[in-house]
């Protein structure tokens, strides 16, 4: 009998209703996504066919209160992100961009009227969102200066520049664009609706990770946005950072899911694959790999669960999310590597799924702050000394 990868039963921290939702997500992912995802992954296409089912789960904007959102705990939100990634990290990323980064920007930085205007439709996934912060020449250094500019002309803002890597942007109904106000040099957020003249997207080609996610290069050429589309409570990069603090915790959970998916496929394989006349799971060295993987997953999940409790108590700081993102992604990368090793040659065949987790782990490792950036955030917090430059 194979042990559950939730080895310390963290799921029991959820009440019955939340556990039931988590199980619905699991069942949907296993039945509707796993059988088709390799087809889309190899073709670098997003599986729009799963959107009705995803909508039905009601998981967009899970932790927000009001505006048609369920107001659930950060713990359930994190576990759902983990559960999505456990079957497929591309779908988890799609959901993290829409529900986390895009809805989160509006939830944390929007005025009451703006939240009423956009969040209910986004919670129903009638409108999909994207989040444009990174630029071709500015990634880790976004806090020190964006090249994309915002210039005010009366009640209108004019945006110029480029954004790179923007997930969902080529089909999103609205994209949150972060730009530097040329008057006060501060970063501000703007909701740009699809079809706005001067806003163009081009999907990045030939990615080796998260191939089902559509990441776009956005060009903003004199894009005119009404003042009523400027996020009214985003006045400096500190406000952008508040969004990232929340979503980085979600990425740590996704790392746990990615590792867990690879581990579970590896465990099943170890019990079924025979060599030297016995299941390879009966070899000590194979068990060593499995136990290392389980240890990584258990430690990472426990860390994320405690972080979720700190979030719920209003005690989570930047460095808490950063430590979890850095630690869990390192452990994920090691875990998926062990899983691939355990499958031998089959570890690089997509049909065995583990190869997809290995590739996707590389993107999760770098997005929403690289290991180095998150390490510098924690390093500054524990020493009081900034080592960024």
Ligand X SMILES: Cc1cc2nc3c(=O)[nH]c(=O)nc-3n(C[C@H](O)[C@H](O)[C@H](O)COP(=O)(O)OP(=O)(O)OC[C@H]3O[C@@H](n4cnc5c(N)ncnc54)[C@H](O)[C@@H]3O)c2cc1C
Which residues contribute to the site for ligand X (CB under 6 A)?
A: 97, 131-134, 139-140, 165-167, 210, 215, 363, 366-370, 372-373, 388
C-alpha to C-alpha distance for 14 and 314, rounded to whole angstroms? 19
> Which two tokens mark 151?
């210039």
- Which three-class secondary structure state does DSSP give residue 389? coil
**CB-nearer residue toward ligand X: 174 or 363:** 363
Q: Distance (Å, rounded) from C-alpha 104 to C-alpha 312?
A: 16
CB of 193 to ligand X, least distance (A): 17
Could you tell me how far CA 382 lies from the centroid of its own chain? 26
Strands (E), 25-170: 65-66, 69-70, 129-132, 149-153, 156-167
Q: Give the shortest CB-88-to-ligand X separation in angstroms.
A: 14
Q: What is the C-alpha R_g of the chain? A: 21
Cα-based distances in Å from 117 to 49, 161, 389: 27, 26, 41
Closer CB to ligand X, 231 or 293, in the complex: 231
Report d(CA 281, CA 269) in Å as an integer.
8
Q: Measured from the CB of residue 190, what is the shortest distance to ligand X in angstroms?
A: 14
Residue 140 in tokens: 């880790």
Query: Least separation, in Å, of the C-beta of 163 and ligand X?
Result: 6
Closest separation between CB of residue 66 and ligand X, Å? 25
Q: Which is nearer to ligand X, 161 or 281 (CB)?
A: 161
* Inter-residue contact 363 to 210 (CB < 8 Å): yes
Closer residue to ligand X (CB): 286 or 323:
323
CA distance linking residue 201 with residue 219, whole number of Å:
6
Measured CA to CA, the distance from residue 87 to residue 33 in angstroms comes to: 8
In whole angstroms, the minimum distance from the beta carbon of 291 to ligand X comes to 30
Output the smallest distance, CB 20 to ligand X, in A. 31
Q: Which is nearer to ligand X, 55 or 164 (CB)?
A: 164
Which one, 28 or 94, has the nearer CB to ligand X? 94
d(CA 273, CA 371): 35
Between CA 272 and CA 148 the distance in angstroms is: 54
Please, which residue, 176 or 267, has the CB nearer to ligand X?
176
Q: Minimal distance in Å, beta carbon 318 to ligand X?
A: 15
CA 248 → CA 239, 245, 369, distances in Å?
14, 5, 8
Report, in Å, the least distance between residue 240 CB and ligand X: 10
Nearer to ligand X, 5 or 359 (CB): 359
- Between 248 and 320, CB nearer to ligand X: 248
CB of 131 to ligand X, least distance (A): 5
Closer residue to ligand X in complex, CB, 97/293: 97
The closest residue (CB) to ligand X is: 139
CA gap 177, 190 in Å, rounded: 5
> Regarding beta strands 65-66 and 199-203, do their DSSP bridges make them parallel or antiparallel, or are they unpaired?
unpaired
**Closest to 182 measured CA to CA, from 142, 147, 208:** 147
Residue 250 near residue 100, CB atoms below 8 Å: yes
């Amino acid at each position: 009998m194979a042990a559950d990868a939730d080895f310390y039963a963290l799921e029991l921290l959820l009440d019955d209703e939340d556990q039931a939702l988590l199980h619905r997500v699991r069942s949907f992912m296993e039945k509707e996504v796993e059988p088709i995802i390799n087809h889309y992954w190899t073709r670098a296409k997003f599986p729009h066919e799963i959107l009705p089912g995803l909508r039905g789960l009601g998981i967009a904007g899970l932790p927000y209160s009001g505006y048609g959102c369920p107001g659930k705990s950060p713990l359930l939100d994190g576990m759902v992100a983990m559960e999505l990634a456990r079957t497929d990290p591309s779908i988890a990323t799609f959901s993290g961009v829409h529900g986390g980064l895009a809805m989160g920007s509006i939830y944390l930085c929007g005025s009451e009227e703006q939240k009423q205007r956009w969040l209910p439709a986004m919670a129903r996934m009638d409108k999909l969102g994207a989040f444009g912060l990174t630029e071709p020449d500015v990634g880790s250094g976004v806090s020190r200066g964006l090249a994309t500019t915002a210039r005010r002309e009366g009640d209108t803002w004019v945006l110029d520049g480029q954004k790179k890597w923007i997930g969902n942007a080529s089909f999103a109904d609205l994209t949150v664009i972060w730009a530097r106000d040329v008057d006060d040099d501060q970063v501000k957020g703007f909701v740009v609706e699809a079809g706005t003249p001067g806003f163009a997207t081009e999907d990045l080609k030939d990615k080796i990770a998260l191939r089902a996610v559509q990441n776009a290069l956005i060009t903003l050429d004199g894009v005119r946005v009404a003042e009523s589309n400027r996020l009214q409570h985003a006045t400096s990069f500190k406000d952008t950072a508040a969004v990232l603090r929340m979503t980085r915790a979600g990425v740590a959970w996704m790392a746990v899911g990615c590792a867990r998916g690879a581990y579970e496929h590896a465990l099943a394989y170890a019990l079924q694959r025979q060599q030297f006349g016995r299941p390879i799971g009966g070899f000590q060295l194979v068990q060593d790999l499995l136990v290392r993987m389980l240890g990584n997953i258990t430690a990472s999940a426990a860390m994320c669960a405690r972080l979720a409790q700190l979030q719920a108590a209003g005690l989570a700081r930047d460095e808490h999310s950063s430590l979890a993102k850095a630690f869990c992604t390192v452990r994920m990368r090691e875990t998926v590597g062990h899983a691939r090793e355990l499958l031998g040659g089959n570890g690089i065949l997509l049909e065995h799924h583990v190869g997809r987790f290995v590739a996707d782990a590389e993107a999760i490792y770098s997005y929403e702050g690289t290991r180095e950036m998150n390490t510098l955030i924690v390093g500054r917090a524990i020493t009081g000394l900034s080592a960024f430059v």
